Structure formats: C-alpha cells, structure tokens
Structure 1
Amino acid sequence: MRYMIINKADAESEAGGFPAPEVGEAVGKVVEDLSKAGVLLFAEGVHRSALGARVKVEDGRRTVTDGPFAETKELIGGMLVVEVRNRDEAIEWAARLAEALGSEVEVRRVVEEADFEPGSDVYPN
C-alpha cells in the first residue's frame, strides 16, 4: 500500500527560510532510513506559497490567484510517498518524521485501482 506523509508549511518556510540545521539533519536521517528500508518512493519539499498559484474553473471561466496564501496551517511544506505493508507501518514512519520536524504530519493512503473493485473496503459498492 502506498501512503503519502504530508508535512505542513510554517511561518518560517512561508517567509522563505529553511529549517534549522539540526532539523534538516534529523529529517535527512529519516529519509535515509526510509530509503535503506526500501519503502521510500519519493520525498520532496515545495517552495513557499508566494511562488505558487491557485487555479479555479467555474462555468468555463478560469480564475488564477497568485500566492502567498494566508492560512499557513493549511499549506503543504513537503511530502513523502512510501510503499508499506499497512497503515500502522505508515504511521510509524510518520511519527519518526513528525518527531524530526517537531510538528504534526498527516498520513493519507494513496488511491489505487484495486480500491474501486467490488468488495473493496475503501470504496464499497
């Protein structure tokens, strides 16, 4: 099963800053351990929202809103995708990342084709 582990942006990252060196090293260690365990598919950070945009299409009309965006707690700071045996294993890795970051992370299962098959516990028919 694939899971996305999402870390939220914070005021520092939204201001264009980088994490403290010890945080960067701790996160790097978790990423290295994920890679050594063979479960890491990818890990990426994202730039601050000031460099981004939100796109909405309504009734065929496109609206583009340039960043920055006010609600930092709702913004993604980075993500990892792992392939693990189950949700519990994903949570164990997420806990290590949350500890390294000193903040909360979110764990979400990635939708797979099998989720839509009859009898699936994710999207029951």
Structure 2
Amino acid sequence: MQFLVIRKADAETEAGVMPSAQLIDDMTTYNARLVERGVMKSGAGLLPSAKGARVSFTNGQPAVIDGPFAEAKELIAGFSVIEAGSLQEVIDMVRDWPRSDGHGNVQIEIRQIATADDLGFSDDQQDRYNRLVDQEAAAQQQ
C-alpha cells in the first residue's frame, strides 16, 4: 500500500521562511532512513501558496484564483509517498519526524493512496491506466 504523508503548512512556511541548516540536515537524515528502508518513493517541499494558483470548476467552467490562500492550516508545505503494509507502520515512521521542524509544532496528515481496485476500474480502464504508467516510466528512462 502507498500512503501520502502531508506536512501541513503554517505561518512560517506560508511566509516563505526558508528552512534552517539544522532543519535541512534533520529532514535529510530522516528521509535518508526511509529511503534506506526502501519505503520512501518520492517527496518534496512546496513553495508558499503565494507562488501557486487554484482552479475551481462551476458547471464545468474553470476559474483561476491566484495565491496566496487565506487558511494556512488547510494548505500543505510538503509531501512524501511512502510504501508500507499498514497505516500503523506509517504512523510509527512519522513519530520520528524531526523535532526541529516547525519548532516542534507541526501537523502531519497521512492518507492511503487509492488503487484501481479501490476505485472499481473495469478491465479496459485498468489496461488503459497500465499503458499510461508504462509510458510514464519509459519517458523517465530517457
């Protein structure tokens, strides 16, 4: 199973405060342990919402809203994709989150990533999805 580990934004991340050298070292060490265990598939920090946009649809019509967005607690500052056998395994990994992040005051959300089986794909939909995954992997090899 794969899980999305979401580091929620806070006032500092939304203000564009860059991480300290200590936090970069701590996060790199934390992430390296996950990579060495073979459980971390990807991850990255995100720039503040002021550098982003939202696209909302009403009756199929898109409307673009430029950042920043008001509620920092509803935003994300970074993410990791983790492979694990259970939600509890991921919770146990997150318990070791670096205390230097957010001065020890961060919120992490963990969500299981839905699979084709979870979503009820038909055989044709699964085949189409598999072809897209194969195309993406081939493109990354180039």
Q: What's the TM-score, normalizing by structure 1?
A: 0.85
Equivalent position of 1:25 in the other structure: 25
Structure 2 spans left out of the alignment, 5+ residues: 121-142
User: Does structure 2 conserve the Cα–Cα contact (< 8 Å) formed by 1:4 and 1:109?
Assistant: yes
Q: 1:27: Cα distance to partner?
A: 1.2
State the identity %.
Answer: 36
Cα–Cα, structure 1 residues 79 and 37, in superposed 2: closer, same or farther, change >3 Å? same
Cα–Cα, structure 1 residues 58 and 116, in superposed 2: closer, same or farther, change >3 Å? closer
1:48-96, CA deviations, whole angstroms, 9 ceiling, x for partnerless residues?
A: 1001111111123221110001101111000000101111111111222
Structure 1 spans left out of the alignment, 5+ residues: 118-125
Runs of 4+ off more than 6 Å: none
Equivalent position of 1:111 in the other structure: 114
Equivalent position of 1:41 in the other structure: 41
Q: Distance in 2 between matches of 1:12 and 1:44?
A: 17
Q: Distance in 1 between matches of 2:31 and 2:84?
A: 14
Q: What's the TM-score, normalizing by structure 2?
A: 0.76
Pick which of 4-13 and 71-80 moved more: 4-13
Aligned length: 117
User: Does structure 2 conserve the Cα–Cα contact (< 8 Å) formed by 1:5 and 1:105?
Assistant: yes
Equivalent position of 2:97 in the other structure: 97
